[in-house]
Amino acid sequence: MTTRRQTFRLYPNKAQAKALFAARRLHCYLYNACVSHRQTEYKLGNKSVDYYTQQNALPAFKKEWGEFAALNSQSLQGTVKRVDLAYQSFFSGLRGKPKFKSIRNYSGWGYPGKSGWKATTEGQHGTLTLNDLGITLKMRGKAKEWAIPGTLMIVFKPSKRQWFASFTVEVATIEAKFGSESDLKYESIAAYDLGTETALTLFDGTQFETVENPRLSHKNDEKVRNVAKQKRRKRAPKKGVKASRRWKKINQREANLKAKVARQRKDWQHKVTSDIASRYDIGVTEKLNTKGMTHTAKKGSKRSVRETGSPAKQLSKKRKKQKAGLNKSILSVGFGTLNKMITYKIEQKGGLVLQLPTRIIKPSQRCPKCGAVHKEWAELKNRYHVCSACGFEVPRDQGSAMVMYNVATHQQPGLGTSLASLGCFSATSETRKTGSMRQLGQKKRQKSNQLDGNGVLETPSAYAVG
């Protein structure tokens, strides 16, 4: 079974919207309380607080703060878990330190199990009942695939002031056509290189295909800059100062503009990836570390040194600028997103996407014809490659796509022939750990061994909310 997310728009009436906003506010308070708790304990030099300590403190918390008692306890646990996940990714260096969240932008809350809510729908429109709030909401939308939903997220989009219900459903997994290396068929195979000049360069054994970077955001950059400038001249909200009506108005216009750019980009991404996925059963690409590539070259910050592996201090001014430009281009194409979209679309029809290890294959440094590796090709400014060993000439991106195609079809000179030995057969089955909410729904409350004495935190000061 595969888990899919299906989202419907909610249409609350005035009273229902009020209840939703109230619940959202409480969840935001809880989130901030948990962050505060962790920060306070850390400052006091006590043991670090883990998820179960906070989860087990919830009953006492509810006793102290009565308004939380009405809310679904699993959904409260979900919010506590959110804080835990934020800290986990902070500890692993993926994100910055969790901050207090403003109620203005707080996104919502979730129900990690099947209890506490009921969706009445056949996959198109219908109603949603939230037991803890005692409301039944009108719901509109159409699910691509529908089954009995397992979890629910209530999401608020502040820019549009719209509410959404996002369910996960378990749908049948499509049987993979290619289980092992010997199953591979070469008629329907395409290698693609994701780049910045050209968004995508594809090679299917006979011909090349290029997809140009639309640079949508560049087109709209001026408009966005203009609106931002106007916004700066209006009275923004501060502590004790309300935003002016003009600020609110221009703020809304800015949000609409940004949303439009995002929609355009998404539309373009779907068109490009659907087209490729519909024509090929096997995709070949390189395993990219976009995180390292897109990370801004901050002034000698520890972070960028750690993530890019090179001291940012040593970057010359020019290179910094180049890197910033590269970042912008990568982000505006949604580099990783394209790859992910192609992968899931091909896998959805039973195909396979091979992710080749970049460091071993070196697609952009290797000559597709003789296999010689040219270090100087790695520099991004070298757009056209001429092999000094065999004289083969090829544009950079096309060369990369060719090398990857050759590797997948066992034709690349200078490299071993087995794909399994390159470790790329299991790459596609690697998925991100997203089951945390679901696991939470299945887990019972556990006693944390970090609790001492009566085990609950009674000091409301640790829960300084507001």
**C-beta of 328: minimal distance to Zn ion in Å?**
33
Widest Cα–Cα separation across the chain: 78
Asked if 387 is part of the footprint of Zn ion (rule: CB under 5 A), the reply reads yes
Residue 71 vs 387, nearer CB to Zn ion? 387
In contact, 450 and 53? CB cutoff 8 Å? yes
CB half-sphere exposure, 341, CA atoms < 13 A: 20
Cα separation, 171 vs 178, in Å, equals 20
Kindly indicate which of the ranges 185-193, 329-337, 388-396, 457-465 contains the residues binding Zn ion, using the contact rule CB under 5 A: 388-396
Please give the DSSP secondary-structure letter assigned to residue 460.
G
CB of 280 to Zn ion, least distance (A): 27
Please say which residue, 38 or 366, places its beta carbon nearer to Zn ion.
366
Give the binding range for Zn ion (CB under 5 A) out of 175-183, 308-316, 362-370, 407-415. 362-370
Where is 2: in which H helix or E strand? Answer: strand 2-11
Tell the smallest beta-carbon distance from residue 366 to Zn ion (Å).
9
Residue with tokens 């699910």: 143
Specify the residue, 123 or 414, whose C-beta has the smaller distance to Zn ion: 414
Supply the minimum distance, in Å, between the C-beta of residue 390 and Zn ion. 3
By beta-carbon proximity to Zn ion, the closer residue of 28 and 387 is 387
Specify the residue, 11 or 392, whose C-beta has the smaller distance to Zn ion. Answer: 392
Of 38 and 369, nearer to Zn ion (C-beta) is 369
Q: Which of 11, 21, 65, 392 binds Zn ion (CB under 5 A)?
A: 392
* Among the residue ranges 247-255, 390-398, 447-455, 456-464, the one whose residues contact Zn ion (CB under 5 A): 390-398
Q: What is the size of the binding site for Zn ion (CB under 5 A)?
A: 8
Residues 6 or more apart whose CB falls under 8 angstroms from that of 165 comprise 7, 8, 9, 10, 119, 128, 137, 139, 152, 153, 154, 155
Site map (CB under 5 A) of Zn ion, residues 150-169, x = contact: --------------------
How far is CA 206 from each of CA 189, 209, 227, 359, rounded to the nearest angstrom? 11, 10, 48, 26
Which is closer to Zn ion, CB of 369 or CB of 396? 369
For residue 68, what are the contacts with CB-CB under 8 A and spacing of at least 6?
26, 30, 61, 62, 76
Q: How far is CA 111 from CA 108, 141, 144, 167, 205, in A?
A: 11, 20, 22, 10, 48
**Least distance to Zn ion, CB of residue 414, Å:** 9
What are 183's two structure tokens?
Answer: 């199953």
The two structure tokens encoding residue 283: 């995709």
Residue 389 within binding range of Zn ion, rule CB under 5 A:
yes
The answer to whether residues 136 and 127 touch, using CB atoms and an 8 Å cutoff, is yes
Of the pair 248, 374, the CB lying nearest Zn ion is at 374
Mark the segment that binds Zn ion (CB under 5 A) among 47-55, 228-236, 386-394, 411-419.
Answer: 386-394
Q: Min. distance of Cβ 201 from Zn ion in angstroms? A: 19
| Contact call for residues 294 and 308 (beta carbons, < 8 A) | no
Please report, as residue ranges, which positions from 283 to 302 form the binding site for Zn ion (by CB under 5 A): none
| 209/186 Cα distance (integer angstroms) | 17
DSSP helix/strand/coil, 138: strand
Q: Which of 122, 121, 117, 123 is nearest to 153 (CA)?
A: 117
In this structure, how many other beta carbons lie within 10 angstroms of the beta carbon of residue 328?
17
User: In the complex, what is the shortest distance from the CB of residue 387 to Zn ion, in angstroms, rounded to a whole number?
Assistant: 3
Q: Which is nearer to Zn ion, 171 or 372 (CB)?
A: 372
The footprint of Zn ion on residues 366-385 (CB under 5 A) is: 367, 369-370, 372
The dihedral region occupied by 307, where left means phi > 0, alpha psi between -120 and 50, and beta the remainder, is alpha
Cα distance between residue 320 and residue 300, in whole Å: 11
CA distance 20 to 12: 9
Q: Is 38 in the site for Zn ion (CB under 5 A)?
A: no
208 or 392: whose CB is closer to Zn ion? 392
CB nearer to Zn ion: pick between 150 and 371? 371
- Give the shortest CB-401-to-Zn ion separation in angstroms: 16
Closest CB 429 distance from Zn ion, rounded Å:
34
User: Quick one: which of 174, 176, 390, 420 contacts Zn ion (CB under 5 A)?
Assistant: 390
Does 386 sit near Zn ion (CB under 5 A)? no
Tell me the window of 127-135, 140-148, 205-213, 387-395 that interacts with Zn ion (CB under 5 A): 387-395
Q: How far is the CB of 352 from Zn ion (least distance, A)?
A: 29
Q: Which residues of 210-224 are buried (b: 16+ CB within 10 A; e: fewer)?
A: bbebbebbeeeeeee
In whole angstroms, the minimum distance from the beta carbon of 371 to Zn ion comes to 7
Binding positions for Zn ion, rule: CB under 5 A: 367, 369-370, 372, 387, 389-390, 392
